Structures are given as structure tokens and as C-alpha cells.
Structure 1
Amino acid sequence: MFKSAYALALFFLCSSSSFAAEPRQSCPSSGKDGVAELHRDWLLTGWERDDGDPEFNFRNDLGKYYDFTRADLSLFDDFDPELKVRNTADDYGKIWYGLVPKFKSVHHKITEQPGVVAAGPGYSHSVMEFVFEVTPKRGDKMYLISRTSILWRCTPAGWKIYKEHNSARPVEASVYLNAK
């Protein structure tokens, strides 16, 4: 009886709309288009800012990581003044259009490389920790440590962020300055 109930529960879990509704795609498990490298690139290329960089544009700067055609995403960052879960990439981008232009620069150092696990057919999960220095156009530098957790969905265009959660807290400058 227990095995039957367990098997039935497992069947319903695996056939839920989250996993079963997606057509099976093939995405690389490693290399430059694998989840670990994409997670690193998302941070160090997408979010890195230098004084004098072109105006921030979420679609241009981070568009390769997000699927702008979907409305079933779950995107959260505690930098969001509204602390809302955003269901579209465009809605998520609105947070950053309000914040990034206030920064002169943002620099990151990875303190824990992305840990990657397969989560289901066509999905992969990665977790990474990093420290960063934010230099606002007005005010004092801020130093933070963040943990990011991303569930990636395999699409015809490659891995795209399906669910994202970022949490940051302030740290002393020495934490950033001493990170490798």
C-alpha cells in the first residue's frame, strides 16, 4: 500500500505542469553554455558595472539569461523595494531600471562557485555566493554578501532562468577586499 501511494504521489509530482508541460529540449550540462558557466557569466558580465558604462538596459545586458516570452517565472531579489515575486522578465527588469542608474559602479567577487544539480527533465539548479561593492553616485560605498539560487529551464534557445531567488546582507568592507 505504501509503495503504491508513494509511486502515485511521485507520478503526480513529476507530471505536474511545472515539469511535464515543457517539451524536452537538449541543453549542455557543462562548458560555456552549461548552467555553472551561465550562472557565473550572469553575475560577472550581466551585473558588473563600471563608471562610464553605457546606460543600463536589462534586456540588452541580461536578456540572454531570461525568457521574455514567459509569464510563469518566479523571480525574487531582496533589493526589490516592493519585495515582490515577479512573474515576467520585463517586470523583474523594472526593479533594476529603478536601482542600477543610481550606481556609479558595482563589482563582484565569487566566494562560492556555482553548485549545480539536475532537478528534473529539462531543468537544472545552481546556487552561488558572492560579495559585492556598490558605489552609488551619491553616498558611501556599500559592501554586501549575497546567495543566489537559480532554477534553469532548458528551452530551444538554451538554458533560461525559470526561478531565481537572491538574498543579500551588508558586510564589512574587509570581507569584500579580502575575497579572492
Structure 2
Amino acid sequence: MFKVALALAAAFFSAPSFSQELSTNCATSGKESVAELHRDWLMIGWERDAGDPVFNFRQDLGKYYDFNRRDLNLFDDFDPALKVRHTAEDYGTIWHGLVPNFKSVHHKITEGPNVVAAGPSYSHSVMEFAFEVTGNDGKVSHLISRTSILWRCGPDGWKIFKEHNSARPLSEEGYRAFK
């Protein structure tokens, strides 16, 4: 029993402390704040026009994700496997399989982003948006989605730690009604 306790103590004291991974120096207002990052994540990262360069998840959205972490919790119901992904790289595989099928994707923010500061190292934001997807086959779909993101403040600023996106169909008239 003593050996087990000693091994646990050694593991505990040799592991980097949780607080060493976090920072409290992330922006609370302005361009690098959670509200602006959530907005840009959608309107810059996911917006696509016909003729845009080939989609590259790491290049197009890498600013928002920590590709070195293996403890993320990322879910989108667009994922055909409906799996929670634990790395940004794995999450990107969903989109590398789907986005090339889209000629364009256009978004309209319908609510938010609303930000709740959960603490100096974490912040939570929610946003709702409508979007129009035009497939390479010309078929047009309209959806409305709600996204909930828990951001973690680290040495490189705010990064997505937990993300949940759920979408449902929307009529073309419903999409057009949003400004």
C-alpha cells in the first residue's frame, strides 16, 4: 500500500500543475476577446465563396484551436459519425470530408455572441446563426445552428476547449428574414 501511495505522490508532484497550463492574460475586450473571436470563428473561418482556395482546417481555423492538446471536447451534429472529438486534428477530419462538397457557405448571426466569464482562465460564449449552403451540385440548403463554446486562456490567448454545435433545417424564407 505504501508503494502505491508513494507512486501516486510522485506522479502528482512530477506532473505540471493544472494552473501552469492556464493564463489569465487574455483579452476581455477588443479584437482578441471571446466575443470577437467567436464572431470571427464563424464569419471568417467558416464563410466560403465560390472560387475560394481549397479548405484547410488548420490554416483556416487554426487560430481558434490548440492543435497540441489531446483533452478537447469538440462536437458538431454535421459529423456523420456524431462523435466527440478530442483533438483539433481529428475534428478537422470531419470538415475535410464535407467542406469540399460546398460551393459556398454564407452565415447570418441571429443572436450573440453572448459571453459569460466563467473565471479568469475560462470564458463561455453562445451564438445562434442561420446559414445557406450551396453544394457543388447547385442544391441549396438552409439551416439554423446554435453553438456553445468554452474558451480556455493559455499562453497563445483564447483557444476553444469545448465546443458543441447543433443545427436544424430552416426554410429559405426563414433564412431570408434574417438581416
TM-score, with structure 1 as normaliser: 0.87
State the Cα deviation string for residues 25-65 of structure 1 (Å, max 9, x = none): 31011110000000000000000000000000000100000
Q: Residue 11 of structure 1 aligns with which residue?
A: none
Q: Residue 105 of structure 1 aligns with which residue?
A: 104
Is the 2:126–2:147 Cα contact (8 Å) retained in structure 1?
A: yes
Map 1:95-134; keep pairs closer than 5 Å. 95-134=94-133
Q: Give the Cα separation in 2 of the matches to 1:123 and 1:93.
A: 23
Q: Give the Cα separation in 2 of the matches to 1:54 and 1:24.
A: 34
TM-score, with structure 2 as normaliser: 0.88
Q: Residue 49 of structure 2 aligns with which residue?
A: 50
State the Cα deviation string for residues 150-172 of structure 1 (Å, max 9, x = none): 00000111100000000000010
Shift of 1:22: 3.3
Q: Residue 28 of structure 1 aligns with which residue?
A: 27
Q: Residue 37 of structure 1 aligns with which residue?
A: 36
Secondary structure of the residue aligned to 1:51 is: coil
Q: Residue 150 of structure 2 aligns with which residue?
A: 151
Extract structure 1 runs of 4+ deviating beyond 4 A. Answer: none
Q: Residue 74 of structure 1 aligns with which residue?
A: 73
Is the 2:22–2:155 Cα contact (8 Å) retained in structure 1?
A: no
Over the residues paired in the alignment, what is the CA RMSD in angstroms? 1.6
Shift of 1:140: 1.7
Is the 2:23–2:155 Cα contact (8 Å) retained in structure 1?
A: no
Q: Give the Cα separation in 2 of the matches to 1:36 and 1:62.
A: 16
Shift of 1:121: 3.5
State the Cα deviation string for residues 120-174 of structure 1 (Å, max 9, x = none): 3400000000000000001520000000000000011110000000000001001
- Distance of aligned partners of 1:111 and 1:23 in 2 relative to their CA distance in 1, 3 Å threshold: closer
Counting matched residue pairs gives: 164
Q: Residue 83 of structure 1 aligns with which residue?
A: 82
Q: Give the Cα separation in 2 of the matches to 1:21 and 1:82.
A: 34
Q: Give the Cα separation in 1 of the matches to 2:19 and 2:96.
A: 34
Q: Give the Cα separation in 1 of the matches to 2:61 and 2:156.
A: 14
Q: Give the Cα separation in 1 of the matches to 2:130 and 2:22.
A: 37
Q: Residue 16 of structure 1 aligns with which residue?
A: none
Q: Give the Cα separation in 2 of the matches to 1:92 and 1:80.
A: 9
State the Cα deviation string for residues 94-143 of structure 1 (Å, max 9, x = none): 00000000000000000002010111340000000000000000152000
Whether 1:173 and 2:168 are equivalent positions in the alignment is: no
Bigger CA radius of gyration: 2
Shift of 1:21: 6.2
What amino acid does structure 2 have at the position aligned with 1:28? Answer: A
